[in-house]
Amino acid sequence: MLKQKKILAVLSSAALIAGILTGCSSKTDGSGDSSSKEVTLKLSIGNTAVLDGIKAVSADIEKKYHIKTEIETTPTGGEGDNLVKTRLATGDMSDLLVYNSGSLLQAINPEKNFVDLTNEPFMDNVMDLFKKTVTVNGKVFGVPSGNTSAGGWLYNKKVYAELGLSVPKTWDELMANNEKIKAAGKTAVIGTYKTDWTTQLIYLADNYNVLAQEPDFAEKYTANKAKIADTPAAFRSFEKLAEVYKRGFLNKDFKATTYEQGLKMLAEGTGAHYPMLSSALIAIAKNYPDKLNDIGFFPQPSDNPEQNGLTVWMPGAVYIYKEGKNVEAAKKWVSYFVSPEGVKTYLENMNPEGPLVIKDAKMPDNIMPAVKDMLPFFESGKTNLALEFLSPIKGPSLPQITTEVGSGISSAKKGAEQYDKDVEKQAKQLGLKGW
């Protein structure tokens, strides 16, 4: 479990990193003076990202270094992963790539594809806690593209006030709230299965609760000494996902509903709960600014009210494509992105949904109400990292498996067993011991 001071530092650093990394996509040709020849860098980023901070930092970079940034948005989820792998395999990758940190990085062979940043001076600005998530075989390959975020439940506070509900401390209390919301004619739990990666959240956000019961689960799981289907605390996460569907809490059209539509439902109060990453708050702030104060956040409850805490995600990272034609300019871009100057610009144009992982980065005073709901857990040390940051294995088929379990196609038991097999394939590909 992360200690209080480290968590607060990560929060501040993450927000800072997010601004710096995302916004500094343009770079010079490496000379660093204003007379340098103009260079255009291409930066690829998922289409759900809010680009205000990145664009602002990129504008600074263009003025300072004559490095222009051409931003291209790509699909997220499984489709996005496949596109990244295809582009790397065909040599068609952009100069800069914003992609996952943690376990998913292992699957795209960073040593072959990305520039080793271990000894770059600008890496001193990045917190060690983050560096661990982008390190392979002792080499560091990325800088944070944003701030930390938490996995849990976003909820509409007006609906809670209207129905006289209290923030749940246990899973049973959450289910009881859902029954009351359903009886009132509203969607209790927003399902956005058209955007498949969102189906994973109930499972993934439960990792704090898993580790509260099985502190060494991540180590055993990585060493092939524990399976999800055979570990009651871990299997419970799949049971929770299945229960939400079985009890009829999802919107009727959940299979055809997108992430963007889900955010609209939450903001307008037609849906009361959305299992989601706190990063969604950025999109709510942009698209529904007048509704932002209506949105709260609570961790996914456990079965024990004394065990509640937050599952935390490190930000994604900005990577430099090794075979790109403008590697030195890309390094200059990244350096500015994580510099105090770049971070300042980023934060002036973004309202972070969590702390940063850049050293000495400070959260702004006007943080969102839902982010304030998270801070007590960071301050008290009641946090732990998502499993993908504690283990190098994350099966690529998880979105498909959680979609099936969450829509009643597969049982919780079958889904857990399928995921154990999915993980086994990846662990063998990575050459992990014990597999």
Residues of the chain with CATH 3.40.190.10: 4-147+315-363, 149-312+384-430
Q: What is the 3-state secondary structure (H, E, C) of the chain?
A: CCCHHHHHHHHHHHHHHHHHHHHCCCCCCCCCCCCCCCEEEEEEEECCCCCHHHHHHHHHHHHHHCEEEEEEEECCHHHHHHHHHHHHHHCCCCCEEEECCCHHHHCCCHHHHECCCCCCHHHHHECHHHHHHHEECCEECEEECCCCEEEEEEEEHHHHHHHCCCCCCEHHHHHHHHHHHHHCCCEEECCCCCCHHHHHHHHHCCHHHHHHHCCCHHHHHHCCCCCCCCCHHHHHHHHHHHHHHHCCCECCCCCCCCHHHHHHHHHHCCEEEEEEECCHHHHHHHHCHHHHHHEEEEECCECCHHHCCEEEECCCEEEEECCCCCHHHHHHHHHHHCCHHHHHHHHHHCCCCCCCCECCCCCCCCCCHHHHHHHHHHHHCCEEECHHHCCCCCCCCHHHHHHHHHCCCCCHHHHHHHHHHHHHHHHHHHCCCCC
Tens digits of per-residue pLDDT, 55-106?
999 999 999 999 999 999 999 888 998 999 999 999 999 999 999 998 889 8
How high is the pLDDT of residue 28? 38
How high is the pLDDT of residue 31? 39
pLDDT at position 3 over 70: no
Tens digits of per-residue pLDDT, 118-171?
999 999 999 887 898 999 999 999 999 988 899 999 999 999 999 999 999 999
How high is the pLDDT of residue 350? 84
Place of tokens 């661990």: 132
Least confident of 151-155, 304-308, 325-329: 304-308
Q: Which fold is adopted by the domain 149-312+384-430?
A: D-Maltodextrin-Binding Protein; domain 2 (3.40.190)
How high is the pLDDT of residue 30? 40
Tens digits of per-residue pLDDT, 163-202?
999 999 999 999 999 999 999 999 999 999 999 999 999 9
pLDDT at position 313 over 80: yes
Cβ atoms within 10 Å of 92's Cβ, excluding its own: 11
**H or E segment at 84?**
helix 77-90
pLDDT at position 18 over 50: no
Q: Do the beta carbons of residue 397 and residue 418 sit within 8 Å?
A: yes
Residue 296, judged by CB atoms within 10 A of its CB (0-12, 13-18, 19+), counts as middle
Buried-state track 381-416, b at ≥16 Cβ within 10 A, e below 16: bbbbbbbbbbbbbbbbbbbbbbbbbbbeebebebbb
Least confident of 9-23, 82-96, 269-283, 292-306: 9-23
Would you place residue 24 in the very low, low, confident or very high pLDDT band (cuts 50, 70, 90)?
very low
pLDDT at position 7 over 90: no
How high is the pLDDT of residue 13? 43
Mean pLDDT to the nearest integer, 266-273? 98
Tens digits of per-residue pLDDT, 369-419?
999 999 889 888 899 999 999 998 888 899 999 999 999 999 999 999 999
Mean pLDDT to the nearest integer, 290-313? 95
How high is the pLDDT of residue 36? 53
How high is the pLDDT of residue 379? 81
Q: Which CATH number fits domain 4-147+315-363: 3.30.465.10, 3.40.190.10, 1.20.1300.10, 3.40.50.970?
A: 3.40.190.10
Tens digits of per-residue pLDDT, 202-248?
999 999 999 999 999 999 999 999 999 999 999 999 999 999 999 99
